[in-house]
Amino acid sequence: MQFFKMHALGNNYVFVDTARTTLPEDDFPSLARRVSDVRRGIGSDGLILVTPSDSADVGMRIWNADGSEAESCGNGLRCVARYAYERGLVDATHFSIETKAGVVAAQVHLDVEGRVQLVTIDMGVARFGTEAVPYRGPDRGEDVHVEAGGAQYTGTLVSMGNPHFVMLVDHVDDVDVEHVGGAIESHPDFPERVNVEFVSVLTPDEIDFRVYERGSGVTFACGTGACASVTALARKGLVGNRVTVHLLGGDLDIEIREDGHVWMTGEAHWVCEGTYYA
Ligand SMILES: N[C@H](CCC[C@H](N)C(=O)O)C(=O)O
């Protein structure tokens, strides 16, 4: 199987263009686990298939490293947008990508050589609370409490198509993201599990961000998580509508437009291309 690897702020995936190679199996959760394995496979935060689409210019599906399929992936979308433009799947700088969470608009920004420098994705509208994120705890509304590891945590439930639990902390480097994030990600109150974000407000247009991703663990960046975090904080009046998010792997520019749509701008990088011997 022919694959290519890309990363966006260190959030890295194995990509397969299903129109340009044969897949060793159609059990995609199994394939995602195998290619993500850093010792027996290629090593990544998950698997992304680039597919034909009836409703957009390009289709994208994403599986986490544990084989669970996610509804969307912001960093993956920027990588797919760069791939689609530079490898001729689209012939314009503005195009659409279909995800399980719906169709999104993509725009690539070129350098003088015509290579993609930055990618902007309209990630759609955030939805909040126990109506938007699968939750079976006792709370109602947007902020819920979770007991994990003997401590209680309060966070905001946000959906960007996929579920997020966003917690405000004083300093992200003081958080045990691995253990606290891991305990909340698989907490029984979240029947479909949840992506867990820890954020601290530096200024009204700048936040620090760490993430424990559903199905992949601690990653360097999470685009949907950055969007979820900015919208949760903006709703509380803690940040404005245009925020720089400092993730472990680098910065994302998040903007909440008048119509509520969340626009994400950031890099996407090629790593390698190759043949996977299943
Ligand atoms: N890294 C991705 C998020 C993957 C989401 C996945 N972990 C899930 O929702 O299960 C991003 O940049 O948005």
SS3 30: helix
Asked whether residue 53 falls in the same domain as residue 144, the answer is: no
Asked whether residue 86 falls in the same domain as residue 168, the answer is: no
> DSSP string of 66-122?
TSPEES--HHHHHHHHHHHHHTTS-SSSEEEEEETTEEEEEEEEE-TTS-EEEEEEE
Domain that holds residue 229: 127-259
Asked whether residue 191 falls in the same domain as residue 148, the answer is: yes
Residues labelled catalytic:
73, 222
Question: Was 241 annotated as part of a binding site?
Answer: no
- Work out whether the CA dihedral 193, 68, 181, 260 comes out positive or negative: negative
How remote is the CA of residue 192 from the centroid of ligand 1, in Å?
A: 13
Q: How confident is the model at residue 251 (pLDDT cuts 50, 70, 90)?
A: very high
Residue located nearest, by CA, to atom 1 of ligand 1: 222
Q: What is the pLDDT of residues 65-99, one digit of tens each?
A: 999 999 999 999 999 999 999 999 999 999 999 99
How far is CA 164 from each of CA 71, 230, 231, rounded to the nearest angstrom?
12, 12, 11
Asked whether residue 148 falls in the same domain as residue 69, the answer is: no
Residue 146 pLDDT exceeds 90: yes
Q: Which of 60, 62, 63 to mutate to test the pocket of ligand 1 (most atoms within 8 A of CB)?
A: 62
pLDDT recorded at residue 84? 98
How many domains is the chain partitioned into structurally?
2
Q: What is the pLDDT of residues 108-126, one digit of tens each?
A: 999 999 999 999 999 999 9
- Can you tell me the distance from the alpha carbon of 139 to that of 59, in angstroms, rounded to the nearest whole number? 37
pTM score > 0.95 for this model?
yes
pLDDT recorded at residue 25? 87
Asked whether residue 156 falls in the same domain as residue 231, the answer is: yes
Domain CATH code at residue 18: 3.10.310.10
- Can you tell me the distance from the alpha carbon of 84 to that of 14, in angstroms, rounded to the nearest whole number? 15
Asked whether residue 91 falls in the same domain as residue 209, the answer is: no
Asked whether residue 114 falls in the same domain as residue 156, the answer is: no
Is the CB of 213 inside a 6 Å radius of any atom of ligand 1? yes
CB contact at 8 A, 100 and 69: yes
Q: What's the ipTM?
A: 0.90
